Protein backbone atom coordinates (compact mmCIF):
# COMPACT_ATOMS: atom_id res chain seq x y z
CA UNK A 1 0.00 0.00 0.00
CA UNK A 2 2.80 2.41 0.93
CA UNK A 3 4.73 1.52 -2.21
CA UNK A 4 1.61 1.95 -4.35
CA UNK A 5 0.95 5.40 -2.86
CA UNK A 6 4.59 6.29 -3.40
CA UNK A 7 4.40 5.52 -7.11
CA UNK A 8 1.20 7.57 -7.51
CA UNK A 9 2.97 10.67 -6.19
CA UNK A 10 6.42 10.00 -7.63
CA UNK A 11 5.05 9.28 -11.11
CA UNK A 12 3.93 12.92 -11.25
CA UNK A 13 7.61 13.87 -11.47
CA UNK A 14 9.36 14.40 -14.76
CA UNK A 15 6.40 15.85 -16.67
CA UNK A 16 6.67 19.55 -15.84
CA UNK A 17 10.05 21.23 -15.42
CA UNK A 18 8.70 24.10 -13.34
CA UNK A 19 6.94 21.84 -10.84
CA UNK A 20 9.99 19.59 -10.67
CA UNK A 21 12.23 22.58 -9.91
CA UNK A 22 9.87 23.87 -7.21
CA UNK A 23 9.71 20.47 -5.54
CA UNK A 24 13.47 19.96 -5.73
CA UNK A 25 14.22 23.43 -4.37
CA UNK A 26 11.72 23.13 -1.52
CA UNK A 27 12.86 19.61 -0.71
CA UNK A 28 16.39 20.94 -0.27
CA UNK A 29 15.85 24.46 1.05
CA UNK A 30 12.49 24.20 2.79
CA UNK A 31 13.89 23.37 6.25
CA UNK A 32 16.06 26.49 6.20
CA UNK A 33 13.12 28.68 5.17
CA UNK A 34 10.93 27.24 7.93
CA UNK A 35 13.68 27.84 10.45
CA UNK A 36 13.94 31.45 9.31
CA UNK A 37 10.18 31.90 9.79
CA UNK A 38 10.53 30.66 13.36
CA UNK A 39 13.39 33.11 13.93
CA UNK A 40 11.16 35.87 12.55
CA UNK A 41 8.44 34.78 14.99
CA UNK A 42 10.89 35.24 17.87
CA UNK A 43 11.60 38.82 16.78
CA UNK A 44 8.02 39.78 15.94
CA UNK A 45 6.01 38.14 18.71
CA UNK A 46 5.60 40.06 21.98
CA UNK A 47 6.81 38.86 25.38
CA UNK A 48 4.28 40.23 27.82
CA UNK A 49 4.79 38.08 30.88
CA UNK A 50 7.54 36.67 33.10
CA UNK A 51 7.21 33.40 31.19
CA UNK A 52 8.07 35.21 27.89
CA UNK A 53 4.79 34.26 26.26
CA UNK A 54 4.05 34.04 23.39
CA UNK A 55 7.58 34.77 22.12
CA UNK A 56 8.99 31.74 23.89
CA UNK A 57 6.96 29.48 21.58
CA UNK A 58 9.52 30.18 18.86
CA UNK A 59 12.25 28.96 21.20
CA UNK A 60 10.19 25.93 22.16
CA UNK A 61 9.68 25.15 18.46
CA UNK A 62 13.43 24.96 17.94
CA UNK A 63 13.95 22.83 21.05
CA UNK A 64 11.14 20.50 19.94
CA UNK A 65 12.59 20.15 16.45
CA UNK A 66 16.05 19.31 17.78
CA UNK A 67 14.65 16.78 20.25
CA UNK A 68 12.41 15.20 17.62
CA UNK A 69 15.24 14.95 15.10
CA UNK A 70 17.44 13.28 17.71
CA UNK A 71 14.72 10.76 18.46
CA UNK A 72 14.17 10.21 14.73
CA UNK A 73 17.82 9.24 14.36
CA UNK A 74 17.40 6.58 17.04
CA UNK A 75 14.25 5.27 15.36
CA UNK A 76 15.96 5.19 11.97
CA UNK A 77 18.84 3.13 13.31
CA UNK A 78 16.54 0.77 15.20
CA UNK A 79 14.08 0.24 12.34
CA UNK A 80 16.17 0.76 9.22
CA UNK A 81 14.19 0.99 6.00
CA UNK A 82 15.72 1.13 2.56
CA UNK A 83 14.99 4.17 0.44
CA UNK A 84 12.35 3.65 -2.26
CA UNK A 85 14.84 4.19 -5.09
CA UNK A 86 16.74 1.15 -3.78
CA UNK A 87 13.88 -1.33 -3.63
CA UNK A 88 10.89 0.18 -5.45
CA UNK A 89 12.24 0.74 -8.98
CA UNK A 90 11.41 2.35 -11.32
CA UNK A 91 11.69 5.64 -9.42
CA UNK A 92 11.98 9.23 -10.62
CA UNK A 93 14.84 10.29 -8.33
CA UNK A 94 15.28 14.06 -8.64
CA UNK A 95 17.80 14.57 -5.82
CA UNK A 96 21.07 12.94 -4.85
CA UNK A 97 20.69 9.56 -3.07
CA UNK A 98 21.16 9.40 0.68
CA UNK A 99 22.95 6.63 2.59
CA UNK A 100 20.76 6.79 5.69
CA UNK A 101 17.41 5.10 6.25
CA UNK A 102 14.10 6.18 4.83
CA UNK A 103 12.00 5.88 8.00
CA UNK A 104 11.01 8.35 9.37
CA UNK A 105 11.48 11.44 7.23
CA UNK A 106 13.70 13.94 9.06
CA UNK A 107 12.27 16.75 6.96
CA UNK A 108 8.73 15.96 8.09
CA UNK A 109 9.86 15.47 11.70
CA UNK A 110 11.52 18.88 11.84
CA UNK A 111 8.84 20.75 9.93
CA UNK A 112 5.92 19.56 12.04
CA UNK A 113 7.86 19.95 15.29
CA UNK A 114 8.54 23.58 14.36
CA UNK A 115 4.91 24.27 13.49
CA UNK A 116 3.11 22.64 16.42
CA UNK A 117 4.01 24.95 19.35
CA UNK A 118 3.22 28.05 17.30
CA UNK A 119 -0.22 26.68 16.46
CA UNK A 120 -1.20 26.39 20.13
CA UNK A 121 -1.41 30.12 20.84
CA UNK A 122 -3.67 32.46 18.88
CA UNK A 123 -1.05 35.23 18.98
CA UNK A 124 1.51 32.97 17.30
CA UNK A 125 -0.89 30.99 15.13
CA UNK A 126 -0.31 33.00 11.95
CA UNK A 127 3.34 31.93 12.06
CA UNK A 128 2.33 28.38 12.89
CA UNK A 129 -0.01 28.16 9.92
CA UNK A 130 2.70 29.37 7.54
CA UNK A 131 5.19 26.85 8.94
CA UNK A 132 2.55 24.11 8.82
CA UNK A 133 1.83 24.84 5.16
CA UNK A 134 5.53 24.71 4.42
CA UNK A 135 5.89 21.46 6.35
CA UNK A 136 3.05 19.86 4.39
CA UNK A 137 4.64 20.87 1.09
CA UNK A 138 7.99 19.64 2.37
CA UNK A 139 6.53 16.24 3.22
CA UNK A 140 4.91 15.99 -0.21
CA UNK A 141 8.11 17.07 -1.95
CA UNK A 142 10.13 14.31 -0.30
CA UNK A 143 7.85 11.71 -1.87
CA UNK A 144 7.65 13.58 -5.17
CA UNK A 145 11.44 13.67 -5.61
CA UNK A 146 11.68 9.96 -4.89
CA UNK A 147 13.51 9.84 -1.59
CA UNK A 148 10.73 8.83 0.86
CA UNK A 149 7.59 6.70 1.04
CA UNK A 150 4.35 8.40 2.12
CA UNK A 151 4.50 6.33 5.31
CA UNK A 152 7.89 7.84 6.11
CA UNK A 153 6.60 11.40 6.01
CA UNK A 154 3.38 10.56 7.87
CA UNK A 155 5.40 8.89 10.62
CA UNK A 156 7.75 11.87 10.67
CA UNK A 157 4.85 14.29 10.97
CA UNK A 158 3.33 12.31 13.85
CA UNK A 159 6.66 12.00 15.64
CA UNK A 160 7.48 15.68 15.27
CA UNK A 161 4.02 16.69 16.47
CA UNK A 162 4.10 14.32 19.46
CA UNK A 163 7.53 15.46 20.62
CA UNK A 164 6.52 19.11 20.23
CA UNK A 165 3.40 18.59 22.34
CA UNK A 166 5.54 16.89 24.99
CA UNK A 167 8.00 19.79 25.04
CA UNK A 168 5.12 22.27 25.34
CA UNK A 169 3.70 20.26 28.25
CA UNK A 170 7.11 20.22 29.96
CA UNK A 171 7.37 23.98 29.51
CA UNK A 172 3.94 24.44 31.09
CA UNK A 173 5.06 22.23 33.98
CA UNK A 174 8.13 24.42 34.44
CA UNK A 175 5.80 27.43 34.77
CA UNK A 176 4.07 25.78 37.70
CA UNK A 177 7.20 24.45 39.42
CA UNK A 178 9.76 27.21 38.96
CA UNK A 179 9.26 30.20 36.71
CA UNK A 180 12.91 31.14 37.21
CA UNK A 181 13.80 28.57 34.59
CA UNK A 182 12.87 31.22 32.00
CA UNK A 183 15.36 33.81 33.32
CA UNK A 184 17.86 33.24 30.46
CA UNK A 185 15.03 33.49 27.96
CA UNK A 186 13.81 36.72 29.57
CA UNK A 187 17.30 38.15 29.14
CA UNK A 188 17.41 37.07 25.49
CA UNK A 189 13.96 38.57 24.99
CA UNK A 190 15.05 41.88 26.54
CA UNK A 191 18.07 41.99 24.24
CA UNK A 192 15.77 41.30 21.29
CA UNK A 193 13.46 44.16 22.26
CA UNK A 194 16.40 46.51 22.67
CA UNK A 195 17.68 45.56 19.23
CA UNK A 196 14.24 46.12 17.71
CA UNK A 197 14.06 49.62 19.20
CA UNK A 198 17.40 50.49 17.62
CA UNK A 199 16.22 49.50 14.14
CA UNK A 200 14.48 52.48 12.47
CA UNK A 201 10.94 51.83 11.31
CA UNK A 202 10.80 51.96 7.48
CA UNK A 203 7.71 54.20 7.50
CA UNK A 204 9.33 56.63 9.92
CA UNK A 205 12.41 57.00 7.72
CA UNK A 206 10.30 57.80 4.66
CA UNK A 207 8.58 60.78 6.22
Tens of pLDDT, residues 20-36 = 999 999 999 999 999 99
Mean pLDDT across the chain: 89
Question: What pLDDT score does 124 carry?
Answer: 93
Question: What pLDDT score does 197 carry?
Answer: 75
Question: What pLDDT score does 175 carry?
Answer: 78
Question: What pLDDT score does 199 carry?
Answer: 66
Angle of helix 17-44 relative to helix 56-78, nearest 10 degrees, comes to 130
Residue 22: partners with Cβ closer than 8 Å, 6 or more residues away:
none
Q: Which fold has domain 2-176?
A: Vanadium-containing Chloroperoxidase; domain 1 (1.20.144)
Q: Is 74 exposed, middle or buried (0-12, 13-18, 19+ CB in 10 A)?
A: exposed
Question: What pLDDT score does 17 carry?
Answer: 93
| Distance, CA of 153 to CA of 191 (rounded, Å) | 37
Question: What pLDDT score does 51 carry?
Answer: 73
Domain ranges for the chain: 2-176
Q: Which residues of the chain have pLDDT under 50?
A: 202-207
- Yes or no: say if 193 and 47 are a contact pair by the CB < 8 Å rule: yes
Cα pseudo-dihedral 124, 130, 133, 139, rounded to 10 = -90
Answer yes or no: pTM beyond 0.75: yes
Question: What pLDDT score does 184 carry?
Answer: 82
- Yes or no: say if 135 and 183 are a contact pair by the CB < 8 Å rule: no
Amino acid sequence: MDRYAFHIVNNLAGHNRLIDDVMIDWSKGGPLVLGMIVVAAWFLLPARSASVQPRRLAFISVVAALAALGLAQLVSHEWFRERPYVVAAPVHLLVAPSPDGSFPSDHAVGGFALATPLLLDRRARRFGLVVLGGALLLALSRVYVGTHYPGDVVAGALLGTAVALLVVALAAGADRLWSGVWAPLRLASAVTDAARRRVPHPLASSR
